[in-house]
Amino acid sequence: MVEGWRVLFLALALFVSFYVHHLVLCVARCRAVYCLVVNVCLLYLYIFIRLRAEYKARANSTYYAEGNFLSSALYD
C-alpha cells in the first residue's frame, strides 16, 4: 500500500512540475532547457525529502518497537 501512495505522489509531483514548466514558459518566455532543469531539480528534491522522511519514520518505528522510546524522546 505504501508503494502505491509513493507512486501516486511521484506522479502528482511530475504533473505539477510539468504544469509549472508550461506556466513559466507561457508567462516569462524563458528558455525551455532552463525551466526543465529547474523543474527536474525540484522533482529530485521532492523525492529526496519524501524518501528521507520515510527512512526516518521507519527508523523511529523500529526504535520505538524495541522499547527505547523514552531515551529517543530526549534526543529528538
Alpha-carbon dihedral sign for residues 52, 55, 60, 63: negative
Residue 47: per-residue pLDDT:
84
Grid cell locating 40:
527536474
* Tens digits of residue pLDDT in 58-74: 777 665 555 555 544 44
Grid cell locating 39:
523543474
The residues spanned by each domain of the chain are 2-75
* Tens digits of residue pLDDT in 3-62: 667 777 777 777 777 777 676 666 666 666 677 777 788 888 888 888 887 777 777 766
Nearest-angstrom CA–CA distance, 62 and 44: 27
User: Predicted confidence band at 76 (pLDDT cuts at 50, 70, 90)?
Assistant: very low
Residue 3: per-residue pLDDT:
66
